[in-house]
Amino acid sequence: RDFIALIDGTHQLIKAPVVLVRDRLNTHVSRTMRELIDAREWLTVFLLPAYSPDSNPVEGVWAHVKRSLANLAVVALDRLEVLVRNRLKRLQYRPETLDGFIAGTGLTLGGPASP
């Protein structure tokens, strides 16, 4: 329920549909999680194979964000949070970069996979 609250909060913040790529951890594919996802028409979920970090476009996103933060000294955790949010917000307006992270995995943007 905390995870769904996070996704709901993200949806409210960005005021746009959310695409979620996740692994097949048992709590991610539970009946309760499926019901919570199905109740949100603005949420599209793609499931990765059982273990496949190379197929996870989020790895590319975080590598990109971390590179942009290299060589920065931050004195407070809240300042780091602001910087990370800023970098992620910038990516929101660069769909070609986000498409590149997905293309790098070999995945396609077809329909959501069934658990």
pLDDT in tens, 10-20: 999 998 999 88
- Bridge partners, 43 (sequence order): 18
User: What CATH superfamily is the domain 2-103?
Assistant: Ribonuclease H-like superfamily/Ribonuclease H (3.30.420.10)
Contact 24, 115 (CB under 8 A): yes
Using CB atoms within 10 Å of the CB of residue 67, give its burial: 0 to 12 exposed, 13 to 18 middle, 19+ buried.
Answer: exposed
Indicate if the alpha-carbon torsion angle 80, 89, 64, 33 is positive or negative: positive
φ, ψ of residue 100 in degrees (nearest 5): -65, -35
Contact 55, 106 (CB under 8 A): yes
Report, as an integer, the average pLDDT of 4-14.
90
pLDDT tens digits, one per residue of 92-114: 899 899 889 888 888 776 655 55
